[in-house]
Amino acid sequence: MEDLIFSINGKSVNPTRYEGKVRQFSIAVDEPENFGGKDSAPTPVEYILAGYAGCLNVVVNLIAKEMGITIKSLEINITGDINPEKLLGISDKERAGFKSLNIQLDINSDASSDMIQKLLTQVKERCPVNDNLANTTPVNYSI
Amino acid sequence: MEDLIFSINGKSVNPTRYEGKVRQFSIAVDEPENFGGKDSAPTPVEYILAGYAGCLNVVVNLIAKEMGITIKSLEINITGDINPEKLLGISDKERAGFKSLNIQLDINSDASSDMIQKLLTQVKERCPVNDNLANTTPVNYSI
C-alpha cells in the first residue's frame, strides 16, 4: 500500500492561538490564562492526548475484531506530567515534554485476561500514535 | 516549579469515534470512510499535527519575545507520511506511525537569518511536543 500523507496548514492568530485546517476540519489551539493565553481552545499537549486516545480506540477495536473479541464498552483515559521550566527557559534540569504518559484502558469484555494481554501487545505495536510517542521520529524544519 | 498534570477522559462511541474531555473542552476523533469511520471529526494523527503546530506557535512567539524579535506574521504547516500496512496487520516492513514530520515555518520578521536560526535552535529544544515526537517517552498501560 502507498503511504498516506497527512497535513495541517494554519497560522498564528496571536502568540498563543493557532488556527489550522486539516482537510475540511478547523482546529484551534490556545493556552490558559496563566500561560498568557485566553483559554479559548485546548492546549497543544492536550491535543496530543486526544490523538493518542483516539488512536487507541481505533486500534483496540480493530485488533479485537481480528481476534474475535467482543468489546462491550471501552473507556480510555490518559494522563501525563510536564515540568514547565525548560519551556519557560528557567532551567534545563528536566525535559520539555511529557515525562511519561499513563494510559488507562477500561475494556469491558468477556475475553480472558490472557487474550486481553495479547490484544494489548498488538495494540502497542500497531498504534501509529503510540509508535511516534514511544519511539523517535525524524523531524525536519524548513524556514 | 511543580509539574503540570494534563489528562483526557473519554470513551469509545463506536470502533472509530472517540469522545474525550480535557478540562472544559470536548474533543472528538474519527476516521474517514475508507478507514471504516464516518469522517465526523479529524483523525488521531491529524490531532498530533495540530498539537505540534500549536506548540510551535507558542514557543516561537515566546522565544522571539525573549530575543527581542518582532514577528509580523507566522504560518505553520506540517506534513507527515504514514504507511498503513503495520496498522492494518498487512506487514511489518515499515513503522506504524509517521515516518518523518516536515515542518514549514513562514516567519515574517526583520530579524537576520542568523537570529532566526538561533531562534529555531531554541524552539526545537524547548517545545514540549517537539521533545515528545523527536525523542522517546515512557508509556505505561494499565487495564
pLDDT (tens digit per residue) in B110-120: 999 999 999 99
Closest chain B C-alpha to A84 CA, distance in angstroms: 7
- Whether A37 and A47 map to the same domain: the answer is no
Task: Please name which of B84, B66, B62, B133 lies closest in space to residue A141, comparing C-alpha atoms.
Answer: B133
Residue with the three cell numbers 499537549: A45
- Whether A68 and A97 map to the same domain: the answer is yes
Percentage helix, strand, coil for chain A under 3-state DSSP, each rounded to 5: 35, 30, 35
Domain membership of residue B112 (yes or no) is yes
Q: What are phi and psi of B121, to 5 degrees?
A: -60, -45
Q: Is A38 on the interface with B (CB under 8 A)?
A: no
**Quick one: DSSP state of residue A1?**
-
pLDDT (tens digit per residue) in B122-134: 999 999 999 999 9
Partner residue opposite A89 with nearest CB, options B3, B42, B126: B126
Closest chain B C-alpha to A112 CA, distance in angstroms: 12
- Whether A25 and A82 map to the same domain: the answer is no
pLDDT at position B51, please?
A: 98
Q: Mutate which of A49, A66, A112 to disrupt the B interface (most B C-beta within 10 Å)?
A: A49
Closest chain B residue to A5 measured between Cα atoms?
B81
- Whether B64 and B120 map to the same domain: the answer is yes
Q: Mutate which of A17, A48, A119 to disrupt the B interface (most B C-beta within 10 Å)?
A: A48
- Whether B31 and B59 map to the same domain: the answer is no
Residues in chain A: 143
Classify the complex by whether its ipTM is higher than 0.90, answering yes or no: yes
pLDDT (tens digit per residue) in B37-54: 999 999 999 999 999 999
Q: Mutate which of B87, B103, B119 to disrupt the A interface (most A C-beta within 10 Å)?
A: B87
Domain membership of residue B140 (yes or no) is no
Q: How many domains does chain B have?
A: 2
Which structural domain range is residue B22 located in? 1-41
pLDDT (tens digit per residue) in B60-116: 999 999 999 999 999 999 999 999 999 999 999 999 999 999 999 999 999 999 999
Average pLDDT, chain A: 97
- Whether A68 and A110 map to the same domain: the answer is yes
Beta-carbon contacts of B74 under 8 Å, excluding residues fewer than 6 positions away, are: A11, A12, B57, B60, B61, B105, B106, B107, B108
Host H or E run for residue A100: none
Domain membership of residue B50 (yes or no) is yes
CB contacts of B62 in chain A (<8 Å) are: 15, 87-88
- Whether B16 and B82 map to the same domain: the answer is no
Closest chain B residue to A23 measured between Cα atoms?
B42
pLDDT at position B23, please?
A: 98
Residue with the three cell numbers 490518559: A78
